[in-house]
Amino acid sequence: MYTSPVREAILGLKAYVPGKSIAEIKEKYGLTQVIKMASNENPLGTSPLVCEAVQRAAASSFRYPQGGNPRLTAALGRWHKVAPERIVVGNGSDEIIDLLLRVLLVPGKHSLACFSPCFSIYPIQGHICGVEVRRQPLREDFSFDFEALLSLVDDSTRLVFVTTPDNPSGYCPPRAEVEHLAAELARRAPDCLLVVDEAYMDFVEDGEADERQSSLLAGGCLPDNVAILRTFSKSWGLAGLRLGYAVLPEALAQYCWRARLPFSVNLLAEEAGLAALEDMAFREATLRTVREGRQYLSRELAAAGCTVWPSAANFVMFRLPEGAEASACVDALLRGGLIIRPLNSYDLPQHLRVSVGTPEENARFISLLRDFLGESR
Ligand SMILES: *Cc1c(COP(=O)(O)O)cnc(C)c1O
């Protein structure tokens, strides 16, 4: 009899917990209209230019994409003003995280370091790859103690993960602090790569001026022990097509291309990414909607008595007033047809995260939340 004798790392595995889907909630609660504010997707949907490009490319679906996605890496090189040879694209930035682990870390020998809580893909994929995962708790206010993170690093450590702005808190450390971390790592652990996950960097306040304050990519010259992760899932509105990328040290990028599954970025995703980079009107509308919505949500949540953490991203983390239960709130909102994100999987059972929606969606969320708080008083 076959007993599926999987590796020990898989036996004890906790799977990634995604936000609930609209279809799932419609069916479960018998609803016809459901709003999803759970997975930090683009409130404006998909760019019309992207939809046209995907439709145009659909008839070519029988073709393999071009090996190495050269048009896309060239466009991204222009966008970030870096050599295209440094760019690796993947099936979401999740694939790049996995790729870096497999290319750089030997199972049973190497370790990675990250904060706790953090984006759960880093520890989950680390665990699957059979490497030691070292975790430094965030400060009480969810800011980063980089000195403490550095103290976890030794000769076995090959990757350090930092998310900025952070998920789920929205905290964004100043660029100078991240640069200092990179310099200290270079000095103390020259074989260790700092992975800076900038999935939400586009949403920092005031656009370009603030991005220069916050993003390592906007600093002009990237330290040579740093990798930057970016994604098309959030500000570009392509979560369902799966497209992310990294800017890497050039030699490492070339090894990653060799190790990557040949066609992990499919033909439609490639065309969509190229079209998205051309639609500046959609991009600007997205950033405006998110920054205004974030302000509105933060203000209204605080007015309703919640504790709200300052966010530089397209979501807001909050806690309910004393006496109100987070899980009961999530359920009440679901019955009202609105999905937000409980943070149990981040070990924060009383914290909640809501993604910025359209102005109408944001107002609906606040109204349902007020109803819930009124009833539980
Ligand atoms: C959403 C998110 C990503 C993006 O993942 P994709 O695989 O590109 O969809 C990466 N990092 C963080 C911290 C995220 O929240």
- What is the CA(123)–ligand 1 centre distance, in A? 14
Q: Is the backbone peptide bond immediately before 165 cis, with ω within 30 degrees of 0?
A: yes
- What is the CA(323)–ligand 1 centre distance, in A? 33
Measure the CA–CA gap between 315 and 117, rounded to whole angstroms: 16
Three-state helix/strand/coil letters over the chain: CCCCCCCHHHHCCCCCCCCCCHHHHHHHHCCCCCEECCCCCCCCCCCHHHHHHHHHHHCCCCCCCCCCCHHHHHHHHHHHCCCHHHEEEECCHHHHHHHHHHHHCCCCCCEEEEEECCCCHHHHHHHHCCCEEEEEECCCCCCCCHHHHHCCCCCCEEEEEEECCCCCCCCCCCHHHHHHHHHHHHHHCCCCEEEEECCCHHHCCCCHHHHHHHCHHHHCCCCCCEEEEEECCCCCCCHHHCCEEEECCHHHHHHHHHHCCCCCCCHHHHHHHHHHCCCHHHHHHHHHHHHHHHHHHHHHHHHCCCEECCCCCCEEEEECCCCCCHHHHHHHHHHCCEECEEEHHHCEEEEEEEECCCHHHHHHHHHHHHHHHHHCC
> For a pocket test of ligand 1, which of 234, 241, 311, 346 has the largest count of ligand atoms closer than 8 A to its C-beta?
234
- What is the CA(94)–ligand 1 centre distance, in A? 6
Domain ranges for the chain? 8-46+281-376, 48-279
* Nearest-10 crossing angle of helices 48-58, 267-276: 150
- What is the CA(31)–ligand 1 centre distance, in A? 29
Give the residue among 213, 212, 199, 169 at the shortest CA–CA distance from 310. 169
Q: Which atom of ligand 1 is nearest to the CA of 40?
A: 1
> For a pocket test of ligand 1, which of 17, 198, 231, 235 has the largest count of ligand atoms closer than 8 A to its C-beta?
231
203-234 core/surface letters (b: 16 or more CB in 10 A; e: else): bbeeeeebbebbbbbbbeebbebbbbbbbbbb
List the residue whose alpha carbon is closest to atom 2 of ligand 1. 199
Q: Which atom of ligand 1 is nearest to the CA of 94?
A: 7
- What is the CA(171)–ligand 1 centre distance, in A? 16
- What is the CA(163)–ligand 1 centre distance, in A? 10
- What is the CA(246)–ligand 1 centre distance, in A? 12
Top CATH class of 48-279 equals alpha beta
- What is the CA(97)–ligand 1 centre distance, in A? 10
Q: Sheet with 341-343: list strands edge to edge.
A: 307-308, 315-319, 348-355, 341-343
List the residue whose alpha carbon is closest to atom 3 of ligand 1. 199
List the residue whose alpha carbon is closest to atom 6 of ligand 1. 92
Looking at domain 8-46+281-376, which CATH architecture does it have? Alpha-Beta Complex (3.90)
First to last CA, the chain: 57
> For a pocket test of ligand 1, which of 197, 235, 346 has the largest count of ligand atoms closer than 8 A to its C-beta?
197
Mean pLDDT per 10-residue run, the chain (377 residues)?
Answer: 92 83 93 96 98 98 95 97 97 98 97 97 95 97 98 98 97 94 97 98 77 79 95 97 98 97 97 98 97 98 98 98 96 96 95 98 98 87
> For a pocket test of ligand 1, which of 95, 203, 233, 314 has the largest count of ligand atoms closer than 8 A to its C-beta?
233
- What is the CA(183)–ligand 1 centre distance, in A? 25
State the pLDDT at residue 15. Answer: 79
Measure the CA–CA gap between 82 and 220, rounded to whole angstroms: 9
